[in-house]
Amino acid sequence: MPSKRCNAPLCRTLIDYRQQYCKEHAQTSTRKQETYSERKEKDSEALKFYKSKQWQRTSRNYRYKHPVCEVCKEIGIVSVANVVDHIKERKDLLADEQHLLYDESNLMSLCHTCHNRKTAAERIKRKT
């Protein structure tokens, strides 16, 4: 039976591919998801960037060239890349580094699990 990782950030537990979370994280998955308007109010600049035609085109083309999650691939797991992520975060780019937003050397294809894990780790690092 095919398996995948739990969708919880930083969890590496392998579960049945039809499930979303392992037993440990199943009860935390019931939390309320933010609505579109709540996200828009919180970070309208980011939402505007990710909805732009230029980013949509860049993301689609990069996923076409790199269809497998790059982190999973390194450890021998084949999973579909659903997200294109910036290696150096968009928020951390200086004014003279804005060209890196669309530069393939600063992008990587990730599955949702790896993207959530990477984002959670970056948030923790940012808080400290």
Per-residue pLDDT at 36:
61
Per-residue pLDDT at 89:
83
Q: Write the DSSP assignment of 67-114 as a string of letters.
A: -B-HHHHHTT---B--EEEESS-GGG--GGGGGGGS-GGGEEEE-HHH
Per-residue pLDDT at 97:
79
Q: Rounded to the nearest 5 degrees, what angle is found at the Cα of 19, between the Cα atoms of 16 and 21?
A: 105
Per-residue pLDDT at 12:
87
Nearest to 2 by CA among 13, 11, 12, 15: 15
d(CA 43, CA 39): 6
Cβ 86 vs Cβ 100: under 8 Å: yes
Per-residue pLDDT of the chain (128 residues; tens, 9 = 90+): 788 988 888 888 999 888 888 888 887 655 566 676 676 667 778 788 888 999 999 999 999 999 999 999 998 889 999 999 988 888 777 777 787 888 889 899 999 999 988 888 888 887 77
Nearest to 50 by CA among 78, 77, 83: 83
Per-residue pLDDT at 30:
54
Q: Is 25 exposed, middle or buried (0-12, 13-18, 19+ CB in 10 A)?
A: middle
Residue ranges of the domains in the chain? 43-128
Per-residue pLDDT at 32:
64
Per-residue pLDDT at 10:
83
Global pTM reads 0.66
